[in-house]
Amino acid sequence: MSARNRELLGLIPASLLVTAGFAAVFIQQGSEQLSNVSLTYGAIFLGLCVAAHVFLRIALPYADPYLFPLVAVLASFGLVVIYRIDDTLARQQAQWFVVGLGLFVATIVFLRDYRKLEQYRYLIAAASLALLCLPRVPGIGAQVNGAYLGVRIPGVFVFQPTEFAKIGIVVFLASYLRDTRQLLVAGARRIVGITLPPLKHFGPLLVIWGVAMLLLVVIRDLGSSLMFFGAFLAVLYVATSRVSFVVVGLALFGLGAWYLGTHVPHVTDRVDVWMDPLNADRYPNVGYQIANSLFAQADGGLLGRGFGEAFLVLPGGGPLLPAPQTDLIYAVIVNELGLVGAVAVLTTYLLFVQRGFKIALLARDSFSTLLAVGLSAVFALQVFVIVGGVTNVIPLTGVTLPFISYGGSSLLANFVLLALLLLVSDRARREAETAR
């Protein structure tokens, strides 16, 4: 069976999921026009996906056949969960989904030769850093829970620059390390038992670390920093095969995180809450979110309460689970679908990441490999940071669950990420095919 036919078949579970999911929520809400609307939603969604699929058939016939259906599954599932939380948000998210597909198509059309990006790597790096600093600019920056992650565009929405910056930074790293990876390894020498690269080439990387640390201070968000720095280390490791670089990098990050965790009050709070999430003194303020995240998960148990059955608001109208459609959407999933549903979601993400690494292995040139590794790693780390935060593996910070959380920026950026992965995979598999 050809790759594209497999992709088409893969869309069937996605459309079934969205239809069944909406039906379940409708039943729970006791709605009258059950059959019509849920089928309409399912049909529209399927129609959009099939249109995207037809486009891929023409534009990228060799691209990986599983990535797009996996994204369709995640996005449709996200729509259902958001619909269950707030139907207005779900309509907006559906619109973002359409815009996201448009951007997806545009990326593929205009970046057919994605290697052109290498020429602009410093511009891309500078633009990404500028994006990250934007939330601190007075007047347009938006502070949420002490972290600077949003830019308010009046009347439109709050733009999350980190979502796009992560792609730009990965593009830069892949391009930079393609050039310098040999030099980093060849010039390395052992100092007190640790292999260190020559300062001349390591210098720029130290600058990256410094910038990451600075960003940590600027945006004050441990999770985003972990995501960026983790992606950096992942690409560096694949480029150089040196574990010691990763160890040194992690140590440096640990140092920075420790400083932040003890000196910036907003980060200190998060760390305190992380150490003791059920502390009664902190519960009414800083501990409320994580404690209720854990309570929601406990309420879900193995099989969950079922779609629409979880408590999200207090009788008085206050939030029982704050930010259920964004930061804590994973807690809602565990609450309603249980451990089983949550593990299914994690598995879907893991399959996506696995396809990303597969593309990296197939790619013929270093830039493509490193780009695929970087994009997959930053995607995986984003999932780890938010799910890890919600389950208290690490301090909770505000990043989105890709393709599931409500949010235009997140959806658009991740569609660009998907487009880039498909572009890399199309090229790699095309070359493999013609070389045979």
Q: Which residues bind another protein (CB under 8 A)?
A: 27, 234, 237-239, 241, 278, 280, 283, 291, 294-302, 311, 313-315, 320, 334, 338-339, 342-343, 346, 349-350, 353-354, 357, 360-361, 366, 369, 373, 377, 380, 383-384, 387-388, 391-393
Least CB distance from residue 342 to another protein, whole Å?
A: 5
- Nearer residue to another protein within complex by CB, 326 or 335: 335
Residues β-bridged to residue 153: 157
Judged by CB, which is closer to another protein: 297, or 410? 297
Contacts of 267 (CB under 8 A, 6+ apart): 146, 220, 222, 260, 261, 395
Q: Which residue number, 58 or 435, has a Cβ lying nearer to another protein? A: 435
Strand segments, DSSP code E, in 72-159 are: 141-144, 147-153, 157-159
Sequence-distant (≥ 6) Cβ neighbours of residue 367 within 8 angstroms: 115, 118, 174, 175, 178
C-beta of 4 vs 181, nearer to another protein = 181
Q: Which is nearer to another protein, 51 or 186 (CB)?
A: 186
Distance CA 309, CA 167 (A): 37
- Nearest distance in Å: CB 301, another protein: 6
The residue (of 102 and 301) whose beta carbon lies closer to another protein is 301
Task: Order across the sheet with 147-153: list the strands.
Answer: 141-144, 147-153, 157-159
Least separation in angstroms between CB 43 and another protein: 26
What is the CB neighbour count within 10 angstroms for residue 288? 16
- The least CB distance from residue 157 to another protein, in Å, is 29
Instruction: Rank residues 136 and 358 by Cβ distance to another protein and give the closer one.
Output: 358
Nearer to another protein, 135 or 197 (CB): 197
User: Looking at beta carbons only, is 27 or 111 nearer to another protein?
Assistant: 27
Judged by DSSP in three states, 281 sits in coil
Would you say 109 or 393 has its CB closer to another protein?
393
* Longest Cα–Cα distance in the chain: 73
Strand partners of residue 159 = 151
What sign does the dihedral 119-124-126-127 (CA atoms) show?
positive
Least separation in angstroms between CB 304 and another protein: 8
Label residue 403 left, alpha or beta by phi (over 0 means left) and psi (-120 to 50 means alpha). Answer: left
* Least distance from another protein to the Cβ atom of residue 367, Å: 12
Task: Give the whole-angstrom CA distance, residue 83 versus residue 308.
Answer: 10
CB of 362 to another protein, least distance (A): 10
Provide the minimum distance between the beta carbon of 51 and another protein in the complex, in angstroms, as a whole number.
32
In the bound complex, what is the minimum distance in angstroms from residue 17's beta carbon to another protein? 20
Contact in structure between 50 and 332 (CB atoms under 8 Å): no
195 membership: H or E segment, kind and range: strand 194-196
Q: How many CB atoms lie within 10 A of CB 14?
A: 23
To the nearest 10 degrees (0 to 180), the angle between helices 87-110 and 408-435 is 40
Burial profile 235-269: b = 16 or more Cβ within 10 angstroms, e = fewer: bbbbbbebebbbebbeebbeebbeebbeebeebeb
- Supply the minimum distance, in Å, between the C-beta of residue 283 and another protein: 5
